[in-house]
Chains A and B, each alone.
Chain A
Amino acid sequence: MDSGVSVVTLPRETAVLAGSPMSYWRTVAWRLARDPATVVAGTLLVLIVLSAVLAPWIAPHDPNAGSIRLRLAPVGAPPHVLGTDEQGRDMLSRLLWGGRMTLIAGLTPVVVAFLLGTALGVVAGYAGGLTNMLVMRTMDIFYAFPAVLLAIAISGSLGPGLFNTLISLSIVFVPRVVRVAESATVQVKGLEYVAAARASGAGVTQILRHHLLANILGPILVFSSTQVSLSIILAAGLSFLGLGVTPPAAEWGLMLNTLRQSIYVNAVVPALPGLAIFLTSMAFNLLSDGLRDAMELRG
C-alpha cells in the first residue's frame, strides 16, 4: 500500500504527466483509479452508500414488521434472503435501513469535526499568542480521555438518542482535527511566500483563503478521512451499549446488541450487522490509505 510508487508504475505515470499537464487533483484522482485496493474499497463503499440511500425503495419487507412464528429464520429461507431477527423481522430490510442510521451517526461527527476543527485550528494557528494558548490547552484537556471512554462518558451523561450520539462523537473528533489544522497552519504561516504576500499588501482574508487554506485543506481532509472508520465503529458501539439510536429503529450496532442473546439458536444471523460495520469501516480505511498515498502525504 505504501509502496504505491513502484518501478513499474512510475515511468508510465511520468509519461502521462509529461504528455498532458495535469492539475494536482487530477493527478491524485488518476493515481487513486490505478490502485486496486482503492478501487475495490471505493466500489464497495458506493454499493453500501447507495443501498442505504435507496433502502426505502429496495428493501423487500417492512423493517419493523415482525412475526412471532418466523423468529430467527436461517439465512436463505424464502422469502427472507438473509433470515429474520429475534422478532421475526426481515434481516435484509433491517440491514439496508440500519445502514442509513449507522452512516449518518458515523459520518456527521467527522464532517462537523472537519468544519469546526479546521476553523478553530486555523484561527489558533494564525492568531498565535494568547488565542492559540487558550484554544490548544482546552483541546489538550480532551486528550486526557481515551476516545472510546470520552464518547461513552458523554453519551452516558446525555442519555440515548441519535442527536446525543452526534454531540458526543463530535466532541471526540473536533480536538483531533484542531491539532492537525493548527500545526499545519503554523507550518505554512512560517513559509516565505506567506510573508511575501503580506509584504505586498495582502489582507488577512486573502492570505487565509488563497495561501493558507489552499495548502492545508488537503492534509486536514486526509486526516479527517482516517477518522471515519473509527467514528462508524464508535457510533455503532454506542448503540450496541444502548446509548445511541433507540429501538425499534434499525441500526447496525443496536441490531448486534439485540441479536446477541440469540447466538445459541442461530449463529449466522447475529453476526451479520457486525459484518456490515466491519466492511464499511474497512472500506473507509482502505480509501483513506489510498488517498494519503495518492496525495503523497505521510500519515
Chain B
Amino acid sequence: MWQYVGRRLLLAIPTLLGASIIVFAMVHLAPGDPIAAVMPADASGADIEATKKAYGFDKPLPVQYVVWLGKVVQGDLGRSIATRRAVILDVRDALINSLVLAVSSSVLAFGVGIALGLLAAFRQGKALDKLASGIAVIGVSVPHYWAGIILIIVFSVQLNWLPAMGAASDGGVIEYLRHMVLPTVALALIPLGVITRVVRSAALDILAQEFVLALRAKGLFDRRVFLHVVKNAAPQIFTVLGLQFGFQLGGSVLVEAVFSWPGTGYLLNLAIFQRDIPVLQGVILVLAAFFVLLNLLVDVLQTLVDPRIARH
C-alpha cells in the first residue's frame, strides 16, 4: 500500500508542473502589455524599459518561466504591481478567510447532505425521498451568486437581520460569525445538492446487495442495518466530500464577489481588473496546489479506509 501512496505522490509532481505552466502561459495569452496597465500615460520609453527589466519581462518566455518557477518553489510569488506588497502575504491573508468560509459551508453542506441522502435512500419512493431529491436538484441547478443576492435581499434588506457585506475583522467574534452566515449558506447550496445525490445513490446500491437482505433475514433491527449500509457506502461518500471541499475553496470567487468577502476569490477578482499579474498568478497557483494536494490526501486516506483500492 505504501508503494501505491508513493506512486501517487510522484504522479502529483507532473500535474503540479503542468498546472504551473498553464498559470504562467495564461498570463502571456493576455492581450496588452502587463506593464502598460500600471505605468502612467506619460511615462518615457526608458522608464517603461527599466520597469520591464525590473520585472524580468524583457527576457524570452522559457527563461521567464524557469526564473519564475525557481522563485515560486522557494515561496516567493513576487510583488504586487499595484500595491508593491509581497504577493505571498496577500494570498496568505486571503486564503485564511477563504478557508474559513470553505470549512463552514462544507460542514453545513456535508451534514445536511449526508442526512438528506441517507433519509431519501431509506424511504425510497416516499414523500421524504421526493423532497430530498427535489432539494438536491435545486441545489445543483441554482446559480449560487444569485442565491447570495436573494439571501441579501431577504435577510439584510427586508428583515435587516444579518449584514450583507464584508468580514468585520475588528468587531469581535459574534460580529464575524454574523457576517459569515449568508455567504456560508450561499456557498453550501451546490455541494449540498451534489452530496445528497451521491449519498442517496451510494446507499441505494448497498441496500440492493444481498448481504443486506441476509442481515434483515437474520432479524437485525433497522438501526443496525443502517450502520452496515453507512459503513459500506463510506468510501464512496468520502471521495465526494474531499472533492467538494476542494471545489469550495476554488469555487468561492463568485460568492466572495457578491458578499465582498476578503478571500482569495475577491483578491483574484481585484487582480484581474487591475491587471495585477503577479497577484493573479499567485492566487491561481496557490489554489491549484491546494486542490492537487487535497485530491492526493483524499486518495491516500481512501486507501487507508479501503485497502482494496490500492490493488487496482
Contact = CB atoms under 8 A, between A and B. Distances in A.
B14 interface: yes
B80 interface: no
Contact of B254 (A143, A229, A237, A282): A237
Given A156-B280, A263-B152, A278-B146, A2 B204 contact: yes
A233 B193 CA distance: 15
Interface stretch (B15-23, B81-89, B109-117, B301-309): B15-23
Contacts of B200: 2
Interface stretch (B134-142, B173-181, B209-217): B134-142
A278 B19 contact: no
A286 interface: yes
A264 B284 contact: no
Interface stretch (B24-32, B48-56, B219-227): B24-32
Nearest to B204: A2
Contact of A154 (B26, B147, B250, B268): B26
B146 A274 contact: yes
B240 to A, nearest CB: 13
A240 B146 CA distance: 10
Interface stretch (A62-70, A134-142, A210-218): A134-142
Contacts of B273: 242
Contacts of B15: 140-141, 143-144
A222 interface: no
Interface string A146-183: 11110011101111000000000000000000000000
A199 B288 CA distance: 46
Nearest to A232: B143
B133 interface: yes
Interface in A224-251: 229, 233, 236-237, 240-243
Contacts of B251: 146-149
B199 interface: no
Given A6-B125, A145-B250, A274 B150 contact: yes
A interface, by DSSP: helix, strand, loop or mixed? helix
B38 interface: no
A281 B254 contact: no
A1 interface: yes
Given A146-B251, A237-B143, A270 B149 contact: yes
Contacts of A282: 137-138, 141-142
Interface string B69-80: 000000000000
Given A154-B26, A229-B141, A144 B153 contact: no
B253 A149 contact: yes
A238 to B, nearest CB: 9
Nearest to B30: A157
B31 A271 contact: no
Nearest to A275: B146
Range of interface residues on B (Cβ < 8 Å): 35 or more
A140 B287 CA distance: 16
A148 B257 CA distance: 13
Given A3-B125, A146-B249, A267-B157, A141 B19 contact: yes
A256 interface: yes
Interface in A1-15: 1-3, 6
B145 A146 contact: no
Contacts of A48: none
A193 B228 CA distance: 40
B65 to A, nearest CB: 15
Q: Which of B15, B32, B141, B157 neighbours the largest number of chain A CB atoms within 10 Å of its CB?
A: B141
Nearest to A236: B143
Contact of A153 (B142, B157, B246, B284): B284
Q: Which of A153, A154, A289 neighbours the largest number of chain B CB atoms within 10 Å of its CB?
A: A153
Nearest to B14: A137
Contact of A159 (B30, B250, B258, B269): B30
A277 interface: yes
Contact of B29 (A158, A253, A286): A158
A285 interface: yes
18 contacts: A3-B125, A138-B18, A141-B15, A143-B15, A144-B292, A145-B19, A153-B23, A154-B26, A236-B143, A237-B145, A260-B258, A267-B153, A271-B146, A271-B150, A271-B153, A274-B150, A278-B141, A282-B142
Which are the 8 A-B pairs with shortest beta-carbon distances?
A: A274-B146, A146-B250, A141-B18, A156-B272, A282-B141, A149-B250, A144-B19, A148-B251
Given A141-B21, A274-B149, 20 more contacts: A3-B125, A6-B125, A141-B19, A144-B16, A145-B22, A146-B246, A146-B249, A147-B247, A152-B253, A152-B269, A153-B23, A153-B268, A156-B280, A157-B27, A237-B145, A260-B258, A263-B153, A270-B149, A270-B153, A278-B146
Interface of A: 1-3, 6, 137-138, 140-149, 152-154, 156-159, 229, 233, 236-237, 240-243, 253, 256, 260, 263-264, 267, 270-271, 273-275, 277-278, 281-282, 284-286, 289
